[in-house]
Chains A and B, each alone.
Chain A
Amino acid sequence: MTSTDDTLFGSSGRHPVDEPTHGGNGHATAPDDDGDALAPGTVRFMEDPLHYGIEHGPWPDDVPHGQNDMHWRYEDDPKGARRAEMRIAACWSLMLIGGLGLAICYATGGQAQIEGACLGIGFAGLGAGLVLWARDLLPGHDVIGSRGGLTHASSEEDRRRMVQSLGRGLEPMARRPFLFKFLGAVGGVFGVALLFPLASLGPRVNGQLGRTSWYPGARAVTEDGQPVKPSDILVNGVATVFPANTGNPSSPANAQDSTILINLGPASSGFEIGKGRQDWYVGALGSNTCIVAFSKICTHAGCPVSLYDVQSHQLVCPCHQSTFDVLQDCKPVFGPAPRNLPQLPLSVDAEGYIIARHDYYEPVGPGYWNRPSAVKQP
């Protein structure tokens, strides 16, 4: 690159190593500075093993002289070379088998296992053949070269010049501090404006935090839309329900609504009723019908709490094993869930179907920064 380099290695400047490098502790030489004394038009191709330009410049002590990188494994053994050739061909013939197999399999209707096996065989044959080709018949291994220095760090001179070039623009710029500040201010405003389109991505977080679609008098219906009578749920039975007439339970708008109905049965004599929740269950405590309803959305990470252990009357979330004791107002008794599952106040309508008295009084699901502790009712 520079004439400095040439003086180090002599005018022909050939780095003594195989790998032309791009600078290195000031001992750099130029890649385009190759001093091969070949007449123009001479093709250097499979002629001489590289000799690393012994005639030029200092030789790195850690690069041995006279390496022959044209050597290959069966160089002196024509029979061995022929055998190697056959081995490689044998490997590659697997490609033929794999390819034909794949084609036939595909044409006759396709079958994933056979397709995968054929592809695998073909690629394996290709790869194995290439490895053998390189190993047995091609030169270029066990070569020692120089890295051209410990790092590719440029010389101090180069660094100084680079800073000089940079300064050509920077210094006159720095003499106009007003322009800098002005650009910063205007650019800031413009930049913020450029971010505005991002807001189209999502709707505004609405004001009614924590509301669900449950409303006073909403019938609890299963995912097929069937309303539920208390007698439909056997002792220790559970059912997942949604508010009636609010659309498809699978639709995004209703994802917060899923509620689990549990018939505690006789075990309900031990049910600890929360403050002000005396009439939130359906049936009678200790009888064969005592149905309570809790949000099915885990207060930890929002998975549906869908496993009910009838022995211990616990609800378990299959995602992270948060465990809620139904008899204790769905208090988390194990796992990472930090809060009770909110309870839905229940009642029975004139036709005997289970209805909600009201929406949840607490927000359902996992926490977030400004989660209200109680839901503001409209």
Chain B
Amino acid sequence: MSTTQERLADQRRRQKVKSAQDYIDDRFGSSSFLRSAMDKIFPDHWSFMIGEVAMYCFVVLLITGTYLALFYVPSDQMVVYHGSYAPLDGQTMSKAYESVINISFNVRAGLVMRQVHHWAAVVFMAAIAFHMCRIFFTGAFRKPREVNWTIGLTLLTIVMLEGFSGYSLPDDLLSGTGLRVVYSIVESIPILGRRLAFEIWGGPFPGTELLNRLFVIHEFLFPAAITGLLGAHLAILWRQKHTDFPGPGKTETNIVGSRFWPQYMLKALAMFALTTAVLCLLGGLFQINPIWIYGPYTPYTVSAGSQPDWYVGWLDGSLRLFPHWEFRSFGYEIPNPFFPGILIPGILFTLMYAWPFIDAKIYNDHVPHNLLDRPRDKPFRTAVGVAALSFFFVTTLASASDLLGNNLHISYQRIIEILQYAVFLLPLLSGYIAYRTCLSLQRTGIHPIQKPVGGIIVRTTDGAYHTLGEDHGDHAADDLVHNGNGHGDGNGHGNGHGHGADEDVVAEGSDGELVD
């Protein structure tokens, strides 16, 4: 087939690869690791890409963020604006706000970088949330992956704080109002709160130090923490390998998919490029956070329709929905924002951290799993997840109660009262519906792991045998769970066990054709 020239080129290429490999391997002895890395198999399922999208958003954030940091001035020193944006001419504003206005209007490509950065943050949080839903509903957090669940949850928390701190840096009216609320929440912590707020803000609100500190936190501390935790998250993933959905040919001890090199690597790069493409289009074509419209922050003004970015909405909504309770005795009080701002999120996050362990208790399941659950097969877990999502939905909706009221022509009081009921009823109702739906889906759908595998041999009435179909699958996972061992005996002739194989239909184990 190949010509002499091609063969020669092939030879030369080998020579080059060989000498490069020798150079590296002589120094690091890396060939065996690299070989195993390149041969590593990653399962192909679109839902495994969501976490990757989050990671690529982070990369985009690092790049655009570094660019923005070169122009941003973290100073609350007041200046009078005389720049190119005429509507703000003559206004008193902080240097921080002025610098963001300059990034938006005077720095070439500054606005697109700023908007890509903001969109990337919004999409980052969304990707993390979807990724977490996928992990939750399919039981991917089960043994041996509980620790990675807690790392992931810590990442979620830090990314949320990172997002909020970045949102606050421009010192515009909207974000300043958000900071005012956060100050009150911090201040509401019993005993320590006021001290803590003073430490963070450098005094009573609005403080004198916050922008400096947010800058350090947003540019250095949190990104470093995210990078470190993400590294750990991926290292553990690499070591434990991906989970996979059950299906023909898939067992607890094998893995079906594409090799890291070249398939997965190229597709991962492609995913990075495509994520970046979407973020650039969003950042270029869809305006986000137009701080020049909001104006600079002053402690005594605010505009109606103050909504935070979507991932903080649920906290803001909780603050709106919580009744006007405040507890005071012996001269000390627990202020109102403590309950919806600290206590409820605290309880929710504790439950989320504890979920893998609660789940193991509920299902009395302490063996390792590599194959995922289908949500319908764990109705209670699915119901809990759906209920949590609808709680999130209602509280997020509540954060827009004023806008909802205006648009629906209902008074904001009614909207809030309705949502106060809904925040209890909707999770219960949707959880119940999810539970029933799971049960009825269980009755109708066939679990892929229970699909007959191997060839099915049918004996006809006259005693003849026919093979009905053939595939390489086996459904021996159930046996494997109990053996806890990929090389156990249960493999390969699993079908026929316990799912009503007819007397006349027997399954042929795949052993015969596989073992040499």
- Residues of A at under 8 Å CB distance from B? 18-20, 22, 24-25, 27, 31-32, 34, 43, 45-46, 50, 54, 58-65, 69, 106, 109-110, 112-124, 126-131, 133-134, 138-153, 198-199, 201-205, 223, 240, 242, 248-252, 254-256, 258, 296, 300-304, 306-307, 318-323, 332, 334-339, 365-373
A22 surroundings in chain B (CB, below 8 A): 239
Residue in B closest to A133 when the chains form the complex, CB atoms: B266
Query: Which one of A63, A106, A120 lies within 8 Å of B254 (CB-CB)?
Result: A63
Query: Which one of B177, B204, B249, B491 lies within 8 Å of A303 (CB-CB)?
Result: B177
- Cα-based distance from A249 to B300 in the complex (angstroms): 8
Tell me how far the C-beta of B119 lies from the nearest C-beta in chain A, rounded to whole angstroms. 10
In the complex, per-residue mask of B31-42: 1 if CB is within 8 Å of any chain A CB, else 0: 011011001110
The answer to whether A369 touches B194, judged by C-beta atoms less than 8 angstroms apart, is yes
Query: Which one of B251, B281, B282, B302 lies within 8 Å of A62 (CB-CB)?
Result: B251
- Cα-based distance from A65 to B515 in the complex (angstroms): 8
- Cα-based distance from A142 to B108 in the complex (angstroms): 47
Known: A18-B39, A338-B326, A373-B331. 7 other contacts (CB 8 A): A64-B249, A116-B116, A119-B280, A127-B273, A140-B264, A223-B300, A369-B192
- Cα-based distance from A256 to B205 in the complex (angstroms): 8
The answer to whether B204 touches A201, judged by C-beta atoms less than 8 angstroms apart, is no
Query: Which one of A126, A303, A307, A338 lies within 8 Å of B180 (CB-CB)?
Result: A303
Residue in A closest to B484 when the chains form the complex, CB atoms: A150
A201 surroundings in chain B (CB, below 8 A): 199-200, 202, 209
The answer to whether A127 touches B191, judged by C-beta atoms less than 8 angstroms apart, is no
The answer to whether B255 touches A116, judged by C-beta atoms less than 8 angstroms apart, is no
B266 surroundings in chain A (CB, below 8 A): 130-131, 133-134, 138
Given the contacts A112-B284, A319-B177, A336-B324, A62 and B257 also touching, CB distance less than 8 Å: no
Tell me how far the C-beta of A34 lies from the nearest C-beta in chain B, rounded to whole angstroms. 6
Counting chain A CB atoms within 10 Å of each CB, the highest count among B193, B298, B487 belongs to B487
The answer to whether A128 touches B274, judged by C-beta atoms less than 8 angstroms apart, is yes
- Cα-based distance from A145 to B258 in the complex (angstroms): 10
- Cα-based distance from A242 to B298 in the complex (angstroms): 13
A24 surroundings in chain B (CB, below 8 A): 486
The yes or no answer to B127 lying at the interface (CB within 8 A) is: no
A-B contact pairs, 16 of them (CB 8 A): A18-B41, A43-B14, A43-B21, A59-B515, A116-B284, A119-B284, A123-B276, A123-B280, A127-B269, A127-B274, A139-B263, A145-B255, A150-B368, A240-B300, A256-B204, A301-B319
Counting chain B CB atoms within 10 Å of each CB, the highest count among A69, A115, A240, A332 belongs to A115
The answer to whether B300 touches A127, judged by C-beta atoms less than 8 angstroms apart, is no
In the complex, per-residue mask of B162-186: 1 if CB is within 8 Å of any chain A CB, else 0: 0000000000000001001101110
A254 surroundings in chain B (CB, below 8 A): 299
The answer to whether A61 touches B514, judged by C-beta atoms less than 8 angstroms apart, is yes
Counting chain A CB atoms within 10 Å of each CB, the highest count among B108, B252, B334, B481 belongs to B108
Residue in B closest to A335 when the chains form the complex, CB atoms: B324
6 tightest A-B contacts by CB? A116-B284, A367-B335, A61-B491, A127-B273, A130-B270, A120-B281
The answer to whether B35 touches A123, judged by C-beta atoms less than 8 angstroms apart, is no
Given the contacts A143-B256, A146-B254, A306-B302, A369 and B193 also touching, CB distance less than 8 Å: yes
Tell me how far the C-beta of B22 lies from the nearest C-beta in chain A, rounded to whole angstroms. 10
B112 surroundings in chain A (CB, below 8 A): 112, 115-116, 119
- Residues of B at under 8 Å CB distance from A? 10, 14, 17-18, 21, 32-33, 35-36, 39-41, 44, 78, 92, 108-109, 111-112, 115-116, 143-144, 177, 180-181, 183-185, 187-195, 198-209, 239-241, 249, 251-259, 261-264, 266-267, 269-274, 276-278, 280-285, 298-306, 316, 319-326, 328, 331-337, 340, 367-368, 370, 401-402, 412-413, 416, 472, 474, 476, 480-481, 484-487, 491-492, 510-511, 514-516
B264 surroundings in chain A (CB, below 8 A): 140
The answer to whether A152 touches B200, judged by C-beta atoms less than 8 angstroms apart, is no
- Cα-based distance from A144 to B262 in the complex (angstroms): 16
Tell me how far the C-beta of A133 lies from the nearest C-beta in chain B, rounded to whole angstroms. 6
Given the contacts A150-B484, A205-B198, A339-B326, A62 and B254 also touching, CB distance less than 8 Å: yes
B262 surroundings in chain A (CB, below 8 A): 134, 138-140
Query: Which one of B252, B276, B336, B367 lies within 8 Å of A300 (CB-CB)?
Result: B336
Residue in B closest to A34 when the chains form the complex, CB atoms: B32
Given the contacts A124-B273, A301-B181, A301-B337, A250 and B298 also touching, CB distance less than 8 Å: yes
Residue in B closest to A105 when the chains form the complex, CB atoms: B109
Residue in A closest to B301 when the chains form the complex, CB atoms: A304
- Cα-based distance from A117 to B324 in the complex (angstroms): 48
A148 surroundings in chain B (CB, below 8 A): 253, 486
- Cα-based distance from A194 to B299 in the complex (angstroms): 36
- Cα-based distance from A370 to B412 in the complex (angstroms): 33
The answer to whether A141 touches B44, judged by C-beta atoms less than 8 angstroms apart, is yes
Residue in B closest to A300 when the chains form the complex, CB atoms: B336
- Cα-based distance from A113 to B286 in the complex (angstroms): 8
Residue in A closest to B144 when the chains form the complex, CB atoms: A151
Given the contacts A19-B40, A138-B262, A252-B206, A296 and B300 also touching, CB distance less than 8 Å: yes
Tell me how far the C-beta of B78 lies from the nearest C-beta in chain A, rounded to whole angstroms. 7
The answer to whether B188 touches A27, judged by C-beta atoms less than 8 angstroms apart, is no
The answer to whether A205 touches B109, judged by C-beta atoms less than 8 angstroms apart, is no
A335 surroundings in chain B (CB, below 8 A): 320, 324, 416
B187 surroundings in chain A (CB, below 8 A): 366-368
The answer to whether B78 touches A248, judged by C-beta atoms less than 8 angstroms apart, is yes
The answer to whether A31 touches B258, judged by C-beta atoms less than 8 angstroms apart, is no
Tell me how far the C-beta of A185 lies from the nearest C-beta in chain B, rounded to whole angstroms. 26
The answer to whether A302 touches B184, judged by C-beta atoms less than 8 angstroms apart, is yes
